[in-house]
Structure 1
């Protein structure tokens, strides 16, 4: 069992700058180290630190992390509250209630806890059928492990629980707490990928070693929209990963689908996902062509006007602020090259998961690239986060997509 914070130490108290106090009052969940004016003692990872303004008025309480410039992640703001087992259970119930009516029996893969936006800073919890995957991004959670797991097991007594850890905390997790990435905390170890349903489409999720928690659940709504656009079209799914958009396009009546990705492992998963859905007549009838290649290079060499629907869903092209400008140029280049392959009357769907590139910047880059091609276009819609991935502060707003009809 992970060690607990010593009750003999006085409560860690932080006094912060006026600017930081304003942000916290406005609901921002992060406090950076350079915003702390004074603290009463040296803090340990996981300390519940109380934040006061310059007039010693209570602002918030949160998880302290002395090893990160993001020094505190807010759990509660406003009036003082006691953080105990009853509080954790109540917070979990509030979070689960937000998802109570989002999905029907055709979907058993979705996000249950979305980090700071649900009041669980540095934690996400995803469901894949009867398996829950808990992803932790800060070691400040470990001293509270018993309370958190107790609340989860109480609310989900039958489900398997798998732990995934951010790379930056894996060493301390193993050394100090005996925890490791891919550890099964409750239930039997799966003997392979877990199969779950999304709007009646079946997918596999590698919950032990796969990216994120095993699948990209955040694009569910965009996949469903693509399904509605696909009938009778030749589809290119660029950066296809395990074929999510490809399967929806096929079910929507696409005559053919090319899944394009540089990863052989991802394309093999896409083929297995198609096999999982072989009973669907539309999916069975659609020709699926997995292609392993660098997307940027392949787009330049493919025959012109080969497709009627193109989806561009690259991984994050700006992992830090210094890469933002280059990412905007890369998005524009992708759109420009994809347009050469898009036939008249086709639809282009472009998505970005780069938090450092704003929605306005991304949409602007896509529109400008189409204008530069001298082709007309009609904007069908833009989209942001799905409701189970809601974002309540600017840094959490990463996902955006734009749909364009190009005559």
Structure 2
């Protein structure tokens, strides 16, 4: 018999709308003893069953929904089924590109706090919740059963684990994990540094957005390809796409020397190195210097890391997004394009649009929206869960006024 979490009468009906999180402030009381697996029934004030959750009494997020079946048994078979279903979803929508993709996306795949990226025959895993940590060894067994991977790397080095009372750790979890592994995306080849790369190694969420820049790269001044500036290029994914899609020249900027080294290797791997100049520099300073030098480009790409990692950081983040977009717009030739993105959840889509518009006003530019998108198909979103809508990606045509 599972313990029950009884919710307050006057709470907002978020669980009924599919939201996967219960906060301490929503809980009236807990009845019964929590079993060793830490799962709990979530019921409303009348005792009506709503969902099963993974319980963490020491977190503000006291329960995470993992099932709407009251009789669900959490064992290796449960994880095998959920993981296999998640991968089948990717195979349906990504086809051949499902060989390397995000195969488990936490709450959106009904495995709250579990992230799994697949790089061909190697997996990169993050466990972000106490609920999933309790089943750590079972999860590893399930992954081995479904994928028979060469190796699994554990990337439990994210600060959010501390909020769950969990230690930070990284290391090979099973088998053999190479320092770098080659994957394919949109017909191009990329080296991924799983142990040392950002997050779980690679940003799969921009896959479709990188493909969306193809029409911008050709047809400039006759048949010449575009002159492109990319800031925050990281390991060169947008850079390589731009060059392979026909850009005449790409200037790619990132502050990380190690990221630049991987980006250079990726450019060489795709035989576009002769059309790319990599610059290790602070993107803000570089944009400012380019403006002072009165340089211009056909396409400017801005794909920065999250500037707002908390609500408290939002005000400063707004200034940062305003500055890079303002300076980026000033560098775009008349009739050219600004490609801009934000992965800060706390910067809501309407706020991001407003920041870009404010920058355009100050830069004396008129924008025409070409493309607006979020994360790719391997990052599904549950309706009603605003926290899942973190990535904003836009392409604007830029005209002077």
2:206 matched to 1:219?
Answer: yes
- 1:405 alignment partner in structure 2: 397
| Aligned-residue offset at 1:306 | 2.1
Which deviations, in whole Å up to 9, do the C-alpha atoms of 1:182-205 show, x marking residues without a partner?
A: 322222232x21111111211111
- 1:298 alignment partner in structure 2: 286
- 1:234 alignment partner in structure 2: 227
Q: Which moved more, 1:301-310 or 1:352-361?
A: 301-310
- The match for 1:394 among 361, 386, 391 is 386
What is the 5 A alignment of 1:283-294?
Answer: 283=272, 287-294=275-282
- 2:299 alignment partner in structure 1: 309
2:369 matched to 1:379?
Answer: yes
What is the 5 A alignment of 1:240-279?
Answer: 240-278=233-271
Q: Distance in 2 between matches of 1:297 and 1:157?
A: 47
Indicate conservation of the 8 Å contact 1:106/1:200, yes or no. no
Indicate conservation of the 8 Å contact 1:324/1:356, yes or no. yes
Q: Provide closer, same or farther for how the CA distance between residues 21 and 375 of structure 1 changes in structure 2, counting only shifts above 3 A.
A: closer
What TM-score do the two structures reach when normalised by structure 2? 0.90
Which deviations, in whole Å up to 9, do the C-alpha atoms of 1:293-332 show, x marking residues without a partner?
A: 1111211111324211000111101111122233223212
Q: Provide closer, same or farther for how the CA distance between residues 107 and 73 of structure 1 changes in structure 2, counting only shifts above 3 A.
A: closer
Q: Distance in 1 between matches of 2:26 and 2:136?
A: 28
- 1:209 alignment partner in structure 2: 196
2:333 matched to 1:343?
Answer: yes
| Aligned-residue offset at 1:31 | 0.7
| Aligned-residue offset at 1:104 | 4.1
Indicate conservation of the 8 Å contact 2:230/2:302, yes or no. yes
Which deviations, in whole Å up to 9, do the C-alpha atoms of 1:82-135 show, x marking residues without a partner?
A: 333333332223222211223344663211111111111111111111111111
- The match for 1:121 among 106, 112, 131 is 112
5+ residue gaps, structure 2, are 219-224
- The match for 1:197 among 177, 184, 187 is 184
| Aligned-residue offset at 1:228 | 3.0
Q: Provide closer, same or farther for how the CA distance between residues 42 and 165 of structure 1 changes in structure 2, counting only shifts above 3 A.
A: farther
| Aligned-residue offset at 1:383 | 0.9
Q: Which SS does the other structure have where 2:365 is aligned?
A: coil
What TM-score do the two structures reach when normalised by structure 1? 0.89
- 2:130 alignment partner in structure 1: 139
Q: Distance in 2 between matches of 1:45 and 1:258?
A: 55
Indicate conservation of the 8 Å contact 1:44/1:66, yes or no. no
Indicate conservation of the 8 Å contact 1:304/1:340, yes or no. no
Q: Provide closer, same or farther for how the CA distance between residues 246 and 44 of structure 1 changes in structure 2, counting only shifts above 3 A.
A: farther
- 2:222 alignment partner in structure 1: none
Q: Distance in 1 between matches of 2:367 and 2:36?
A: 52
Q: Which moved more, 1:339-348 or 1:76-85?
A: 76-85
Q: Provide closer, same or farther for how the CA distance between residues 19 and 112 of structure 1 changes in structure 2, counting only shifts above 3 A.
A: farther
Q: Distance in 2 between matches of 1:238 and 1:189?
A: 30
Q: Which SS does the other structure have where 2:101 is aligned?
A: strand
| Aligned-residue offset at 1:268 | 1.0
- 1:97 alignment partner in structure 2: 88
| Aligned-residue offset at 1:20 | 4.5
2:103 matched to 1:112?
Answer: yes
Superposed CA RMSD in Å reads 2.2
What is the 5 A alignment of 1:12-31?
Answer: 12-20=3-11, 22-31=13-22
Q: Distance in 2 between matches of 1:17 and 1:360?
A: 32
- 2:355 alignment partner in structure 1: 365
Q: Distance in 1 between matches of 2:15 and 2:312?
A: 26
- 2:142 alignment partner in structure 1: 151
- 1:184 alignment partner in structure 2: 172
What is the 5 A alignment of 1:61-100?
Answer: 61-77=52-68, 79-100=70-91
Q: Distance in 2 between matches of 1:173 and 1:59?
A: 28
